Amino acid sequence: IIYLDYAATTPVDIRVFKKMKKYFLSTGIFGNSASRSHQFGWDAEKAIEKSRINIAKLIHADPREIIFTSGATESNNLALKGIYEFYKKKNIHFLTSLIEHKSVLDSCRYLENQGCQITYLKPNKYGIIDVLELKKNILPHTLLVSIIHVNNETGIIQNISEISKICQKKKIFLHVDATQSIGKIKINVQKLNIDLLSFSGHKIYGPKGIGILYIRRRRPRIRMTPQIHGGGHERNLRSGTLPVQQIVGIGKACQILHTEMKKDILHYKKLQILLWNGIKNIEEIYLNTYLKNSVPNILNISFNYVEGESLIMALKNLAISSGSACTSSSLEPSYVLRAMGVKDELAHSSIRFSLGRYTTEKEIQITISSIQKAIQKLRELSPLWEM
C-alpha cells in the first residue's frame, strides 16, 4: 500500500526517532524538567531548552515565545479561547474564515455561545480569502483575526503578509494556523508580523501529541488566560509535566527542516507535477488545488461521475483521503470545497493526494496507472456516464 496521506500525518524521521530514544529509560534522560533540585531534572530541562531554540530558529522567533502544547488543536483552542477570556469584559469581535480547520471553527462556535461576535469570511473560487473583503469586515471592536496559512484539504495558501499589514495598521492581533505550511513555506514571524502561530509535530516528521503555540513577546504584549491549570508550566500558560521525549522530537524535526526544507520542497514539486501530468488528461477531472498558489505536496482533485468513497474502495492500494471523509465519519461533502463554491457532486468525488519526504517516483507511477484503471472501471459501471 502506497502512503499518500502525509497531510493527515507523517511517519517520524529516523533521525528524530533516534534522538527521542534517549529520553525514556533509566539509562537515559527521563527526569521531570520541573525537578529543579537534581541532575535528572536539570538534564531534562536542558534538552527542552535546546529544543525550544531549534523550534524558534525555524520560524525566526525568540525561544521565550515558544509554548509547548499537545498539538495544533490545543494551540488553536488556547489562542482563541485564551485571548477571548482575557479581554472578554469588553465587547469583542473575531474575524476568521469558513475554511479553517475544525479546531478553529469549533472553538469559534464555542466562543459565539460565550458571547463573542464572529465573522466567517468566504473564500473566492480559488479558495483564497480576499484581503479587501477581510478589511471591509473589520469592526471597531475587532480584537483578533485568525486565518489558516495553508488549507489542509486543498493546499491553498493565504496571503498572510497582506493580512498582517492590515492587522498591524488596525492594531488587531493576528493568529495563523500554520500546521500545513510549516516545512513547505518559509515562515518568518517577525517579518510577517504574526502575533500567534500554531503548528504540530506529527505533520513535520516529528512525533504525535506535541504542538507549538508561538506567542509574540514584543509590545504591546498579548495577554491570555490559560485553558489548562496546574503547576504553572510554560509561563503559566499551559500547565502539565512537559513531555521531554516529544519536545526533543519536534525540536529535531525543526532542526532537520532548517537545513533540508528546500530539498523537501523540490522533491514534493517534482512528484506533484509528475502526478498531475499523469492524470490530467482523464476526462471530467477538476483540480481543486489552485496550483499557482498552493503548497507542492497536496493535490485535491474531483473526478466527476465517480463517488469519492467508491474511488477510495477501488484504490485500496493507495492511502488517500476523500473530500467527504475528512469530517470524521459523516458523508457530508467537504465544507472547504463547498465554501469555494464547488458543486456537491464534485465535492463528493474529491480526493486529496498528499505527498511526503518518503514518496518515490515509482510510487507516483503506480498511483497514476491505478487511478486511470479505477476511473475507467467505475465510469463503465456508472449509469450517469455516457461518453
Binding interface with ligand PLP (CB under 6 A): 71-73, 101, 103, 148, 152, 177, 179-180, 200, 211
Under 8 Å between Cβ of 285 and 279: yes
Rank residues 212 and 301 by Cβ distance to ligand PLP and give the closer one: 212
Closest C-alpha among 221, 250, 225, 253 to residue 239: 225
Return the C-alpha cell found at 354: 498528499
3-state SS class at 156: strand
Rank residues 158 and 367 by Cβ distance to ligand PLP and give the closer one: 158
The verdict on whether residue 152 carries a ligand-binding annotation is yes
Parallel, antiparallel or unpaired: strands 2-3 and 318-319? parallel
Whole-angstrom Cα distance, residue 95 to residue 233?
30
167 is annotated as an active-site residue: no
Who contacts 27 (Cβ-Cβ below 8 Å, separation ≥6)? none
Under 8 Å between Cβ of 104 and 76: yes
The verdict on whether residue 326 carries a ligand-binding annotation is yes
Whole-angstrom Cα distance, residue 87 to residue 220?
14
As a 3-state breakdown, the chain gives helix, strand, coil percent values, each rounded to 5, of 40, 15, 40
Return the C-alpha cell found at 316: 485500496
Rank residues 73 and 272 by Cβ distance to ligand PLP and give the closer one: 73
CB atoms within 10 A of CB 386: 7
Burial of 256 (0-12, 13-18, 19+ CB in 10 A): buried
Closest approach of ligand PLP to the CB of residue 299, in Å: 16
Under 8 Å between Cβ of 143 and 93: yes
Rank residues 208 and 270 by Cβ distance to ligand PLP and give the closer one: 208
**Rounded to a whole number, what is the largest CA-CA distance in the chain?**
76
The verdict on whether residue 9 carries a ligand-binding annotation is no
The verdict on whether residue 272 carries a ligand-binding annotation is no
Closest approach of ligand PLP to the CB of residue 71, in Å: 3
Rank residues 211 and 226 by Cβ distance to ligand PLP and give the closer one: 211
Under 8 Å between Cβ of 116 and 166: no
- Tell me which of 108, 167, 254, 326 is the catalytic residue: 326
The verdict on whether residue 73 carries a ligand-binding annotation is yes
The verdict on whether residue 359 carries a ligand-binding annotation is no
Rank residues 354 and 367 by Cβ distance to ligand PLP and give the closer one: 354
CB atoms within 10 A of CB 87: 18
Residue number with the smallest Cβ distance to ligand PLP: 71
Under 8 Å between Cβ of 80 and 144: yes
Burial of 136 (0-12, 13-18, 19+ CB in 10 A): exposed
The verdict on whether residue 202 carries a ligand-binding annotation is yes
Whole-angstrom Cα distance, residue 199 to residue 251?
13
Closest C-alpha among 72, 2, 4, 60 to residue 355: 4
At 172, which amino acid appears? I
Closest approach of ligand PLP to the CB of residue 72, in Å: 3
Rank residues 33 and 180 by Cβ distance to ligand PLP and give the closer one: 180
Give the residue numbers annotated as catalytic, written as ranges: 326
Binding residues: 72-73, 152, 180, 200-202, 241, 326
Binding residues for [2Fe-2S] cluster: 326
Binding residues for pyridoxal 5'-phosphate: 72-73, 152, 180, 200-202, 241
